[in-house]
Amino acid sequence: MSEHAFDVEVADGTALVRASGELDLSTGPVLERAIGGLLDDPTVRAITLDLRPLRFIDSTGLRIVIATDRHLRAEDRRLQVIKGPPSVHRVFELALLEERLSFVDGDDTGDGPVPR
């Protein structure tokens, strides 16, 4: 069983979702529920998904990130993704999703307020 945690913080209309552990078919539904609550909340204008603590992602995780991005874009809201470690980010590169999603390096945001 993969250990995992998805923490959510909302401040000023931006939600920060921190994904840790391993994101796959068994843990994906947990993240989907966490994000689903944010998508249903019209006061959340943007979601920042922090993948830095994540150790593994596969196509199930990619699908969740892409679906979230599509949902937010369609409503003129936005998703920003803080890049995960190389083994995680590489999966996005392999799937040719680098251009399609708004990635930022963790260094750009530090541990300060979530970028808008």
Partner 1 sequence: MSNSLMVRFQPTPAAVGLARQQLDLLRDRMTDEAYEDARLMVSELITNSLRHASLAIDQEIELVMRLRGSTLWVEVRDPGPGFEPRPRSKDASSESGWGLYLVARLADRWGVERDGMNRVWFELDEATPPS
Residue numbers at the binding site for partner 1 (CB under 8 A): 1-2, 22, 24-26, 56, 58-60, 62-63, 66-67, 87, 90-91, 94-97, 100
Nearer CB in complex with partner 1: 8/24: 24
Nearest distance, CB of residue 8 and partner 1, angstroms? 22
**Alpha carbon of 6 to those of 9, 11, 75: distances in Å?**
10, 17, 24
Nearest distance, CB of residue 102 and partner 1, angstroms? 15
Nearer CB in complex with partner 1: 10/95: 95
Nearest distance, CB of residue 94 and partner 1, angstroms? 5
Distance CA 113, CA 116 (A): 9
What percent of the residues of the chain are helix, what percent strand, and what percent coil, each to the nearest 5?
Answer: 35, 30, 35
Nearer CB in complex with partner 1: 38/88: 88
Distance CA 34, CA 66 (A): 15
Nearer CB in complex with partner 1: 73/116: 73
Nearest distance, CB of residue 114 and partner 1, angstroms? 26
Beta bridge partners of 8: 17
In a 13 Å sphere around the CA of 115, the CA atoms on its Cβ side amount to: 16
